[in-house]
Structure 1
Amino acid sequence: MKGRIGLRITSSILFLFSFILFLSGCILQRRSMHTLEHYYDTMPLPETHPLAIEKKRRKTQAENPTPSSESKSYNHGGGIQRILSTSQRQRGAQDLRWEQRQQQLEMELQREMERYKTVGYVQLVDDFTTVCSAVLMFNDLDRLRSKASRILIYPESWDMQLEISESQQKEAQKILATQEKTLNNKRKQKNTKKTSKKKKNKKEDTTKLSDEEATNPLDPPPLPHQISADKSQQYHTARRLLHLARIKHSAILLPMPDDTVNPLVMLNMTDYKRLIYLRSPAVIMKNMDEMLLHSPVATVSAPRDSSGGLSSNFLMVTPEHGELEYVMKQEGAISKDFGGLGKLVDKIYATTAMILPRWPHDVFTSDFFNSPVESNGNRASNWKPSKVLKEAYYIFFDAGKKIKNGEWEKVPQPWKLKSLEEDVAPKCQMVQETGNGEERLDCTARDVWRTLYDGYRQRRMEVCGLDLEA
């Protein structure tokens, strides 16, 4: 018992001494802080020093106290009001930076759009039946997300009477965009909903009726009745497709005198810095906007054709004042025949033209019939049609294939071929494997050719609404 009492007394004494030491430490610390504050208050500091700025602010605040009790309460104990105002200033600065960034992006976008307006793709049509091929080229450019201008030149003697105001064009484009968005949403809903066939058929019928009743922005302006009655069905189809090119593909329609509907008329289109003419019917495989913007300056750029001259299928032109007049003086008139046009281009620009590689810029469908052959009669192993298709910029449907003795045989165009199973496709060929030397039958060229033909037939129906003409 006595031992426990002694232990308690000892513990109490230790606790008391510890508490006294703690209090003395606190007092000593407060006095030290007070001494330091007094030292910094009396010590001279440069005006730019943070402590000097803070002392000046406190002095000003003490001399001009705010009458608001709310402000006093905020200023008390740590400067809450100052923290809030700093936060507001930071938010304001962030908002200002965001607005400046948005303005900068809008200006950059505007400059980019102006840049793309100075380059473009040109299509020429001199026959009603060729308008669809030109529209399909613009459809390819949309698919490839090209931003460059699209120009469609046609004879002014067609008298299409397609004049509409800019506001009418924008309104038609707006209606078209809304209709396409609505139809896409309906298709998505039909694909996701699991309903019975009867309900699906009813919904599809309702959609068709509403689409027929809706205004069609792709309908061209109405013609006076007496003029409409005199025109052929081909005229009305061409007129509809020209209007489609303007509304759906933002093409610039450019009627010209009949004798000037020629690719070399681009030489005189000085509102543009560079233009590309691509002969149709064809498929555009790659976006060539960067080529238009950044290619070296040359009056004419073109690949070579099979004879070694400049090709008239793919022409990139830098318009210049007086260049077309120079060409006219050289020849007197420009041939509308593409064979004659190629000879003319080669004659005038053979030494000054920038030569582009034929592959991948100017690939023909006939190339898939004429693969390189080795001395043993087998196809060269380095010939890969799938690689040609992947790397090509532009593939022209030249409606031909080379047969024996250098002669050519006609091949129907995609819309004139009754069936892709007809015996006109490229034949499968024996190819020697690298490494083991074994031979195998390769049908890649035939498959690629059928893919090109079938794709063109389908797009012609979907975009132009034209069926096969076989």
Structure 2
Amino acid sequence: MLLTSGQISMAISSSVVFMFTFLLFLSGYVLQQQTVRSLQAIIKPQPIVVPPPSPVLAKHFGTPPGHSFYDKYLASNRPKGGWAKVAYVQLVREHLHVCNALMLFAVLDDQESMAQRVIMYPKEWDANTTPALDPRIETSRRLLRNAAKRYKVMLQPVEPMLKAGEQSTFPLAGLLSLTAYNRVVHLVPSGLVLDTSGLDHLFTLPMDSDTLGISAGRVDGAASPSVVLLKPSKDAFQTTMESLSAAKYDEEDFLSRMPLLPDLPEDQIHIVAKTSGLRLEDDSFNATAFLDSTSYVHVSDPEVLGPEFDAPRESLASVIPKRPEPKRAWQEVYERYREMRMDVCGLDLEPVPKPSKEKLAQSQQIP
């Protein structure tokens, strides 16, 4: 069968179209494969090269170097059993001091103290019926939860152990029962931790007795310590509690009978100071050096209720130091306390409670 010229022309045209279509498809397929391989190369995870760790020393102490005595001492001294066996323990019996405990632990956490942290509080605060009796309980619960969450504080509710007049109480001596620790430190409220260096050093000191106190000095006629060291043990706890239960418990009496350790003279850091002592300082006193070299400032002035209260100016005027530098240090401590109370706890200063009718009547009696 012979093909006509038109059929031959159509066949040639179809062959040309098919060939060009095939070439176009082939070029598209090749381009597509190249694109896929490029995308795979981009998406494929690259091996991670981990650099060798930097040679750093284990951090057994909270603050950076800068205090020669403590740096040299702690280079060869650690607490017995390590930092897991020592703890700062705050015993709070009233709502007023819960925020102060948080403030102390906030600084310990910020300065990376390696010691453990414990807050002991009355177990009755956990009762569901308590808020109806005391509206402050919810604030205390919130602060305790924050302590556990933000500052790695262990919360331990405690039962009353002794009678103090008509009320039951948990004595400070009860901290001797914390036998999970070889040494505990309690900071008497209210106060500010300025530098954990000296306080952490207390965990390494040898102790000849089960209790040891550090006082800011007999600046106000009292030798009661502002920092308390305890060496917990079953025997020490039983012996001490038996001696306390023989009479009504008086914590001030217990503290005043505690052996005192003087502030360490061989270093530039002072373990503890008291705001009431600033009134006795002379013109050689330097406020900046005081704030930089003191570990714990016990904010206590006999004529005012405490730094938690918004005391009237006339009351503060009677206790504030007269010399410029001690006055500046005193004002700085009180201002820091107020600011930290707001920053850490979200609390303003408490209003000064009004005197009861009985006290008001007594003050108005004519002798």
State the TM bucket, normalised to the shorter chain.
0.5 to 0.7
Aligned to 1:194: none
Contact 1:328 1:334 in 2 (8 A): no
The amino acid that maps onto 2:171 is N
The amino acid that maps onto 2:154 is I
Number of aligned residues: 270
Tell me the secondary structure at the aligned position of residue 322 of structure 1. helix
Q: In 2, distance between residues paired with 1:445 and 1:396?
A: 15
The amino acid that maps onto 2:338 is R
Contact 1:153 1:261 in 2 (8 A): no
1:426 aligns with 2:323: no
Aligned to 2:154: 252
Give the unaligned 5+ runs of structure 2. 1-48, 61-77, 162-168, 352-367
Contact 1:157 1:258 in 2 (8 A): no
Q: 1:268 to 1:455 in 2, by over 3 A?
A: same
Q: In 2, distance between residues paired with 1:296 and 1:229?
A: 44
Q: In 1, distance between residues paired with 2:160 and 2:244?
A: 18
Q: In 2, distance between residues paired with 1:427 and 1:133?
A: 24
Measure how far apart 1:415 and its partner are. Answer: 3.5
Tell me the secondary structure at the aligned position of residue 134 of structure 1. helix
The amino acid that maps onto 1:448 is A
Aligned to 2:82: 115
1:154 to 110, 121, 136: 121
Deviations 1:376-403 (A, max 9, x none): xxxx444334433322111111132xxx
Contact 1:268 1:322 in 2 (8 A): no
1:468 to 346, 349, 366: 349
Q: In 1, distance between residues paired with 2:334 and 2:133?
A: 32
1:391 aligns with 2:293: yes
Aligned to 1:281: 190
1:130 to 93, 97, 108: 97
The amino acid that maps onto 1:302 is G
Bigger relative contact order (CA 8 A; separation at least 6) = 2
Tell me the secondary structure at the aligned position of residue 243 of structure 1. helix
Contact 2:193 2:296 in 1 (8 A): yes
Measure how far apart 1:124 and its partner are. Answer: 0.9
Contact 1:425 1:450 in 2 (8 A): no
Q: In 2, distance between residues paired with 1:411 and 1:308?
A: 16
Q: In 2, distance between residues paired with 1:334 and 1:132?
A: 32
Measure how far apart 1:413 and its partner are. Answer: 2.8
Measure how far apart 1:330 and its partner are. Answer: 2.8
Tell me the secondary structure at the aligned position of residue 317 of structure 2. coil
Contact 2:113 2:200 in 1 (8 A): no
Deviations 1:87-121 (A, max 9, x none): xxxxxxxx9995xx79x989x679x9982221111
The amino acid that maps onto 2:239 is Y
1:272 to 165, 176, 181: 181
Q: In 2, distance between residues paired with 1:274 and 1:241?
A: 26
Aligned to 1:301: 212
Q: 1:420 to 1:448 in 2, by over 3 A?
A: farther
Deviations 1:200-247 (A, max 9, x none): xxxxxxxxxxxxxxxxxxxxxxx6xxx476353201111111111111
Measure how far apart 1:262 and its partner are. Answer: 2.5
Seq. identity, % = 23
The amino acid that maps onto 1:428 is K
Measure how far apart 1:134 and its partner are. Answer: 1.2
Give the unaligned 5+ runs of structure 1. 1-94, 161-222, 372-379, 401-409, 430-442
Aligned to 1:411: 304
Q: In 2, distance between residues paired with 1:318 and 1:285?
A: 24
1:323 aligns with 2:232: no
Deviations 1:396-416 (A, max 9, x none): 11132xxxxxxxxx1353332
Q: In 2, distance between residues paired with 1:135 and 1:426?
A: 26
Q: In 2, distance between residues paired with 1:394 and 1:109?
A: 22
Contact 2:290 2:329 in 1 (8 A): no
Bigger CA drift: 290-299 or 330-339?
330-339
Q: 1:300 to 1:465 in 2, by over 3 A?
A: same
Q: In 2, distance between residues paired with 1:139 and 1:96?
A: 34
Aligned to 1:197: none
Q: In 1, distance between residues paired with 2:297 and 2:141?
A: 27
The amino acid that maps onto 1:417 is D
Measure how far apart 1:279 and its partner are. Answer: 0.8
Map 1:151-300 onto structure 2 (within 5 A).
Answer: 151-159=118-126, 227=129, 230-259=132-161, 261-288=170-197, 290-298=200-208, 299-300=210-211
The amino acid that maps onto 2:98 is V
TM-score with structure 2 length normalisation? Answer: 0.63
Contact 1:120 1:292 in 2 (8 A): no
1:369 aligns with 2:279: yes
Q: In 2, distance between residues paired with 1:233 and 1:463?
A: 20
Contact 1:119 1:149 in 2 (8 A): yes
Q: In 1, distance between residues paired with 2:309 and 2:221?
A: 31
Measure how far apart 1:335 and its partner are. Answer: 6.1
Aligned to 1:453: 334
Bigger CA drift: 330-339 or 231-240?
330-339
Contact 1:414 1:454 in 2 (8 A): no
Tell me the secondary structure at the aligned position of residue 82 of structure 2. helix
Q: 1:336 to 1:387 in 2, by over 3 A?
A: farther
Q: 1:335 to 1:228 in 2, by over 3 A?
A: closer
Measure how far apart 1:323 and its partner are. Answer: 0.5
Tell me the secondary structure at the aligned position of residue 398 of structure 1. coil
TM-score with structure 1 length normalisation? Answer: 0.50
Deviations 1:338-372 (A, max 9, x none): 42222343xxxx4xx6554598223111111222x
The amino acid that maps onto 1:295 is L
Tell me the secondary structure at the aligned position of residue 308 of structure 2. helix
Measure how far apart 1:466 and its partner are. Answer: 1.2
Q: 1:148 to 1:469 in 2, by over 3 A?
A: same
The amino acid that maps onto 1:266 is L
Tell me the secondary structure at the aligned position of residue 327 of structure 1. helix
Measure how far apart 1:126 and its partner are. Answer: 0.8
Q: 1:255 to 1:335 in 2, by over 3 A?
A: farther
Structure with max Cα Rg: 1
